[in-house]
Amino acid sequence: MPAYRPEEIEKKWQAHWKAHRTFRTENHSDKPKYYVLDMFPYPSGAGLHVGHPLGYIASDIVTRYKRLRGFNVLHPMGFDSFGLPAEQYAIQTGQHPAITTEKNIETYVQQLSSLGFSYDWSREVRTSDASYYKWTQWIFLKLFNSWYNLDTDKAEPLTELTARFAASGSEGIRAAGDDGDRLSFSAGQWALFSEKQKLAAVLPYRLAYQQDTYVNWCPGLGTVLSNDEVKDGLSERGGFPVERRLMPQWNLRITAYADRLLQGLDQLDWPDAVKEMQRNWIGKSIGAEVTFPVQGSETAQIKVYTTRVDTIYGATFLVLAPEHELVDELTTPGQRAAVDEYIAATKRRSERDRMTDVKAVSGVFTGAYALNPVNNEPVPIWLADYVLAGYGTGAVMAVPSGDQRDYLFAKHFNLPIPAISDAQQGLDQQADPTKEGRYINSGIINGLTYKEATQKLIAFLEEKGLGKGKVNFRQRDAIFGRQRYWGEPIPIYYKDGTAYGIAEADLPLVLPEIDEYKPTETGEPPLGRAQDWLYKGKYPYELSTMPGWAGSSWYYLRYMDPTNEARFVSEEAEQYWGSVDLYMGGAEHATGHLLYARFWYLFLKDLGLVSSNEPFQKLINQGMILGVSEKIYRLNQAVKPEATTAETQAALDTPFTKLHFSSSEFELSLPTKNVFVSQDIRDRFRPTEGVSSGSLTALHVDISQVENNKLDIDKYLSSHPDIQDAVFVCAGGYWQNGSFTAFPFGGSDVFLTASEVEKMSKSKYNVVNPNILIDKYGADALRLYEMFLGPLEQYKPWNTNGISGVGGFLKKFWRLFHPEDGPLAVTDEPATPAELKVLHRAIQKAQEDIEKFSFNTSVSLFMITVNELTALKCHKRAILEPLVLLVSPYAPHLAEELWQELGHEAGSISTASYPEFREEFLVEDTVTYPLAINGKVREQMQFAAAATAAEIETAVLASDFLAKHGEGKSAKKVIVVPGRMVNVVV
């Protein structure tokens, strides 16, 4: 047999696994089940880089280990294949998103297969396949036709709600949602309602409902964006401006499940950080809803929610969200211009910016006043962008003495800050939110404690009809519509302006073909371009599509039964697989996908369609592999602000002429504005007169153009044809047009880049293609190396140089079977105690490591084990055969090859049994004790492992140890620490 050649072995076994469907899983087995799930990827055009497979490798190791432990393992893979990138590419090129998506998936499948993952590809799902999104639409219709009954604390079909309407009207019905949006009617009135009136009455109860909602509208992309897709007021993709706009949107009433989503977290084996993120996002609080009448109005009222109703006497102003529905009514003529200007500015800021910017203070007075309900004192009504329309009531009772943000606002606008507690301190410097002490300046609660005051105020407000105790949640209902093409069509049509769900028998509602993928000229979503796209040939469909998270909220269920045409998953398959036992994915999905998936699962549970309590029992967040980016610095010309137009043009036409070094002043004319500076001299420049300080802009360079921080200038220019005249200034001169001009004082001609460890990303040009490493070192080496980098959950910098060491280990492992790369030389000789000890120590540790998901320590263990067996010149089947099984989850191709060479059926290692650990092989016959005189170790002595302390003491005193080291003194006492050491006190 020739030397270890991974390029041959790995292709052989990948082909074998595919041809023999080795990893196909059945939905019934006498074995216990284990479901391992990876967060399925969006198939981008960039393909995988080495950072992507980290979690996939770990989950595949667990999968292969569990098979060896006797489990029936489900380990599927699919693709989250709807999304904005494919649509943007379609807009630019005119190519249908399905074509690019299919091409990208082919790349992903090839790359994933080349890494030897043991996926059951027969269960592959793609969210953009109509056979899949038929059931996404079906679940939406179930939501559309359900309401949440607070009395039973579960979702129920709307037919049960309408039956109650028919029997007794709306009286006594407790449902999740805003009661203020609902009609009050009797059974007789319900009977007289028209069909349209009945649907309008039911709408505020639905779990999927349409409502005017403030959204992040991006005109440049022609769609609504989630908060996560907006950065600093711009779209994350494309950098287009985003504004807040009130639009009719589909929403899912996730708030109905807020408390259950909170409670369920306690039962999950998830990272504490992820659970805490969900708790904070849901944001449960216990407080009161208080009504502030508007002064001078008989009907206008402002409702606020507060967790500190005890501070109400200190409320010296109200703050409304600029989008609040009463703003227009409240604004006085004298304040109209200022209010309109402020609202326009707010629309340009995302919700995320408004929530996180705690330093800037801004606001505008409406000119109106409300009345404090406990003392009838007038309080001014202001607008401020730190209040959001969708959070609580969109209004804040501002108590500047107890809340720092209110305090800063009051200081900025010179509003009163009265103390309300005798325990508050330092109000001339900051707010004091203490609950200690007793209340002052607080009317009916003067002298009371926090608890006493809270109870008394809520009772007072409820008696007067001006408030009530209330549990509130920060979480809002989930906006479900997107004004895009490449997504699931929402299965809704409109008749006389009223929304109806299409019949389940008519699913799927397939995406129609359109001529362009951008919004229509009249501003409708892209689906508005579809010709004759009507339900039953006459009713217009909903033109929005579902968000990206729709298909990913239930895909794990479809994997259980992916080809079922009659049901989203069969009862038998769902009950067999239950919930996911191990879910591997990123923490960045904590308040997105992971929360939405739990919501959908609880809803399906309410309808009796799933059998567990939660979808994902254990979650592991793999850390990120960080890339080493390389940067160069471009020297910018910037004109002085005070320069005239003529001076401005002259300055811009003047090249940089002066370089400043610490020891000399050196004039240099450069006939170009494309000047790049080596990182070692970037602080030595001074620009010409007429130009402000020469700022430096850091630019990422493709790492393939850099070696040991040295930029290959020719390679760089070949990828930037627009700057062929560029000058690259080094410490000792400059490069231009392929030639070097030296400075008179000498110095290096190497143009150095600056290295920085940061996220591996195509945009940073620091990605490493796994295909290149697999071609050079093999997939097994890449798998082992990614695990070897460090603990799975931690961030780890990538260094390609390290993979060669892992490749060397695999060759050394091979040579235990093929000494000197010769023929197979495994013998049937019995193993020695030393060899058995090495093996069983490895079995014990490898098993413990996988159970603890500590994969990096296992790789170290394998290296130590192979070194020890090499030193023992061990080539025995009794040792090497179990060792192959230990290594197989990590290096499956090499293990399959050696398993076959050892005489087993080809491809059968997955059905073998994990080696059994036997503790007796680790029991030592003898123990080596350090011997000490007065605590100072002098030498060692070996004793039988079973020797007693008395026997050890006798043996030490009978030896020459005391004579050699006791300086002629006699022993006062001998201390024996069993198994550890002996100390002779003299």
Strand partners, 944: 926
Under 8 Å CB-to-CB from 275, ≥6 apart: which residues? 265, 268
Look up residue 670 and give its DSSP letter: -
Helix (H, G, I), strand (E, B) or coil at 926: strand
Concatenated DSSP letters of 829-856: PPPPHHHHHHHHHHHHHHHHHHHTT-HH
Positions of E strands within 489-578: 492-495, 498-501, 534-535, 539-540
CA distances (Å), 80 to each of 212, 738, 967, in order?
Answer: 29, 47, 79
Instruction: Determine the Cα–Cα distance for residues 764 and 890; give it in Å rounded to an integer.
Output: 30
The pair phi, psi for residue 982, each rounded to 5°, is -125, 130
Instruction: Determine the Cα–Cα distance for residues 226 and 216; give it in Å rounded to an integer.
Output: 7
Instruction: Determine the Cα–Cα distance for residues 789 and 287; give it in Å rounded to an integer.
Output: 49
CB 214 within 8 A of CB 391: no
Tokens of 664: 């000399």
Strands 317-320 and 364-371: unpaired
Instruction: Determine the Cα–Cα distance for residues 216 and 235; give it in Å rounded to an integer.
Output: 9
Under 8 Å CB-to-CB from 547, ≥6 apart: which residues? 226, 479, 480, 481, 482, 487
Give the chain's length: 986
Instruction: Determine the Cα–Cα distance for residues 742 and 729; give it in Å rounded to an integer.
Output: 10
* Exposed e or buried b per residue across 763-786, where buried means at least 16 C-beta atoms within 10 angstroms of its C-beta: ebbbbbebbebbeebbbbbbbbbb
CA distances (Å), 339 to each of 241, 317, 393, in order?
Answer: 22, 17, 20
Tokens of 685: 């420049």
How big is the chain by its Cα radius of gyration, in Å?
36
* Helix 779-788 × helix 803-817 angle, to 10°: 120
Strands 727-729 and 710-711: unpaired
Tokens of 355: 């929530």
Look up residue 763 and give its DSSP letter: G
Instruction: Determine the Cα–Cα distance for residues 489 and 975; give it in Å rounded to an integer.
Output: 81
570-576: long-range contacts, CB 8 A cutoff, minimum separation 24:
570/27, 572/27, 572/28, 573/27, 574/609, 574/610, 574/611, 575/611, 576/27, 576/28, 576/33
Helix (H, G, I), strand (E, B) or coil at 791: coil
Helix (H, G, I), strand (E, B) or coil at 40: coil
Helix (H) or strand (E) holding 263: helix 258-264
Strand partners, 605: none
The pair phi, psi for residue 974, each rounded to 5°, is -120, 120
857: amino acid identity, one letter: T
967: left (phi over 0), alpha (psi -120 to 50) or beta: left
Strand partners, 235: 230
Q: List the binding residues.
A: 762
Q: How far is CA 122 from the centre of its chain?
A: 28
Look up residue 960 and give its DSSP letter: S
Closest CA to 507 of 547, 548, 484, 541: 541
Q: List the binding residues for ATP.
A: 762
CB 202 within 8 A of CB 183: no
Instruction: Determine the Cα–Cα distance for residues 139 and 74; give it in Å rounded to an integer.
Output: 24
